[in-house]
Amino acid sequence: MPTEPAQAKTKTFRIATLCILLLAAIAVVAVIILSQSKPSLPFRLSDEYYGASEMITGLTKDEYEKLLSEKKSFVVMVDKPGCITTPPMRERMTTFPDNMQFKYYQFMWSEAKESSLREYVAFVPSVAIIREGEVVTWLRADSDEDTEYFNSAEALQSWIAKYVAF
C-alpha cells in the first residue's frame, strides 16, 4: 500500500508539469501573434508612390482591388464631384512640404462605394491609408474627432505622417 500515494503524487506532479508547459507554450504563441498583429508605425508606402507629390486620377474599383491583392501600401483620397467639401480637401492634399512628397490615388465615390473600401468609408471626402493590402485607417467625414484634419493642411499632414514614413 505505501506505493499508491507515491504513484499518485508522481501522477499529480506530471499533470501539473504538463499544465505549466502547456500554459507557457500558449503564452509564447500569444506573444508572437500579438507582436505580428501590431505593425510598427509609421510605415513606408510601396516604393512607386515616393518621389513626387501627385494625385493619380481615375482609380477604378477593379484597380483598387488589384492593389489590395498585390499587398501594396498606398493612400487614396475618396471624393465626389459636386460635394462642397471636396475642393478644399483636394487643395490640402496638394500642399505637402518637400519632405513629404508622395503619390496618392483619387478614388471617385461612384467607384469606391462599389469596392471593399465601402466597408470603411461611408461619407466623403475621406482619405484612407492602406498597408500591404489592408486598410489601416481612414478619415471619417461624419466624425467630430476627425474634423480638424478636414479643416487644416497642417493637421492633415500630421495625421498622414503618423502612419506614413517619409
pLDDT tens-place string over residues 33-89:
555 655 689 999 999 999 889 999 999 999 999 999 999 999 999 999 899 999 999
Q: Which residues make Cβ contacts (< 8 Å) with residue 156, sequence separation at least 6?
A: 92, 93, 127, 149, 150
Q: Please report, rounded to a whole number, the percentage of residues in the chain having pLDDT higher than 90.
A: 70
- Give the pLDDT band of residue 18 (cuts 50, 70, 90): confident
Assigned C-alpha cell, 144: 467630430
CB 134 within 8 A of CB 36: no
